[in-house]
């Protein structure tokens, strides 16, 4: 049986496709390649098209004997979503409805969904558990929360079974340096730090130095992209073995500050990373990290790579491709 991976040519998608193929799993990727390259697929079967084409989805499911879908395809920029929200409603939300209609028409009723910890907004307490309030603070996060609920309602009405994986901060690159993140389309901290460390940009702007944290800078739960990939395989196996629909945090349970990221990168790069302290970025919470116990209890899954390997693999990848 085959897994259909939407957005499989993207950052987390390509690492998940690679892992699944290395485990002998059959996959087929559906991707528009609008914001990714087929190079990252390393030869995995690819159909260039949109999740919104439900007839294409149905045909792919039938042609490739699909039994599960892993759904990565989505626009994912917080800042862009607040400037131009339309595509986040059409591509992310409407596209997900069309994808589900297409897969159900072929009798496929298992989906693993790439959600985000941003659905929690600013947490009242940390670590964040899956029972925390869902309070998105931007259009991107709202679209992820809506996609989760659409999957839930298709469960109530049409028997769809789904696992929504709420990623904390995805980072790093494959430990063997073969694939990694494309830093041209990101506003996330770690690729921007690598860019500055490699002299490919000006200084990193540190958004705020007056947060209620030990060093005054924002703390996040950075999780290695290969750990995310293994969690998707565990989630598929959970559904295939009859497990219930659920939303699950994917994090390490530990937080790292911006200045700590800069220090760790300086040690790996052998030089100080140029940076400057600027005002806080509006909407940034001070501290966000996961309670990752449910993933351990349900899937027997844990993150294996710590922040050092995240920084080392990211620096090695960006050094080799810049």
Binding of ligand WQD at residue 196 (CB under 6 A)?
A: no
Report how many residues bind ligand WQD under the rule CB under 6 A. Answer: 19
Closer CB to ligand WQD, 14 or 169, in the complex: 169
**Interface mask (CB under 6 A) for ligand WQD, residues 28-67, using x and -?**
----------------------------------------
Q: What's the distance, Cα to Cα, between the start and end of the chain in Å?
A: 38
Burial class of 125 by CB neighbour count within 10 A (0 to 12, 13 to 18, 19+): exposed
Q: Are 8 and 30 in contact (CB under 8 A)?
A: yes
Binding of ligand WQD at residue 188 (CB under 6 A)?
A: yes
Using the rule CB under 6 A, give the single segment among 3-11, 90-98, 181-189, 304-312 that binds ligand WQD: 181-189
Binding of ligand WQD at residue 189 (CB under 6 A)?
A: yes
**Interface mask (CB under 6 A) for ligand WQD, residues 275-304, using x and -?**
------x--x--------------------
CA–CA distance, 193 with 276 (Å, rounded to integer): 12
**Interface mask (CB under 6 A) for ligand WQD, residues 227-266, using x and -?**
-------------------------------x--------
Shortest spacing between CB 222 and ligand WQD, in angstroms: 8
Query: CA of 312: how far to CAs of 162, 171, 201, 264, 305, in Å?
Result: 34, 11, 19, 9, 11
Shortest spacing between CB 67 and ligand WQD, in angstroms: 27
Shortest spacing between CB 242 and ligand WQD, in angstroms: 29
Binding of ligand WQD at residue 167 (CB under 6 A)?
A: yes
Using the rule CB under 6 A, give the single segment among 15-23, 177-185, 203-211, 241-249 that binds ligand WQD: 203-211
Closer CB to ligand WQD, 152 or 284, in the complex: 284
Task: Output the DSSP codes for 166-208.
Answer: EE-EEE---TTSSS---GGG---HHHHHHHHHTTSSSPEEEE-
Which residue is listed with tokens 């049986």? 1
Query: CA of 62: how far to CAs of 3, 97, 111, 160, in Å?
Result: 12, 19, 16, 17
Neighbours of 191 (CB within 10 A): 21
Closer CB to ligand WQD, 101 or 260, in the complex: 260
Q: What SS3 state is found at 44?
A: coil
For residue 28, give both structure tokens.
């087929």
Binding of ligand WQD at residue 151 (CB under 6 A)?
A: no
Binding of ligand WQD at residue 118 (CB under 6 A)?
A: yes
Residue in 120, 140, 167, 211 annotated catalytic: 140
Q: Which residues pair with 68 in a beta bridge?
A: 3
Burial class of 86 by CB neighbour count within 10 A (0 to 12, 13 to 18, 19+): exposed
Binding of ligand WQD at residue 192 (CB under 6 A)?
A: yes
CA–CA distance, 234 with 257 (Å, rounded to integer): 29
Q: Is 222 a catalytic residue?
A: no
Closer CB to ligand WQD, 279 or 297, in the complex: 279
Residues assigned a catalytic role: 140
* Binding residues vs ligand WQD (CB under 6 A): 76, 78, 116, 118, 167, 169, 187-189, 192, 204-207, 218, 220, 258, 281, 284
């Amino acid at each position: 049986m085959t897994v259909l991976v939407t957005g499989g040519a993207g950052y987390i998608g390509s690492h998940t496709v690679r892992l699944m193929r290395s485990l002998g799993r059959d996959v087929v990727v559906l991707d528009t390649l609008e914001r990714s390259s087929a190079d990252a697929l390393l030869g995995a079967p690819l159909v260039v098209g949109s999740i919104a084409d439900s007839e294409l989805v149905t045909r792919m499911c039938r042609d490739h004997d699909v039994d599960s879908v892993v759904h990565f395809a989505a626009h994912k920029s917080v800042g862009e979503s607040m400037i131009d929200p339309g595509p986040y409603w059409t591509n992310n939300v409407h596209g997900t409805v069309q994808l589900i209609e297409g897969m159900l028409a072929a009798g496929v009723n298992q989906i693993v969904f790439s959600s985000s910890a941003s659905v929690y907004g600013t947490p009242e307490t940390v670590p964040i558990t899956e029972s925390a309030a869902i309070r998105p603070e931007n259009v991107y996060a709202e679209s992820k929360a809506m996609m989760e609920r659409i999957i839930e309602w298709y469960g109530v009405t049409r028997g769809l079974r789904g696992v929504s994986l709420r990623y904390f901060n995805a980072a790093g690159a494959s430990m063997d340096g073969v694939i990694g993140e494309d830093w041209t389309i990101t506003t996330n901290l770690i690729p921007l730090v690598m860019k500055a460390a490699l002299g490919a940009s000006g200084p990193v702007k540190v958004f705020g130095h007056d947060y209620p944290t030990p060093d005054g800078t924002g703390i996040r739960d950075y999780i290695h992209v290969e750990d995310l990939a293994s969690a998707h395989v565990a989630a598929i196996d959970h559904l295939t073995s009859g497990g219930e629909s659920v939303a699950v945090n994917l994090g390490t349970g530990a937080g790292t500050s911006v200045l700590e990221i800069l220090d760790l990168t300086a040690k790996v790069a052998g030089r100080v990373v140029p940076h400057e302290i600027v005002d806080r970025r509006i909407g940034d919470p001070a501290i966000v990290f996961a309670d990752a116990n449910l993933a351990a209890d349900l899937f027997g899954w844990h993150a294996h790579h710590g922040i050092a390997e995240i920084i080392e693999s990211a620096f090695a990848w960006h050094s080799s491709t810049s």
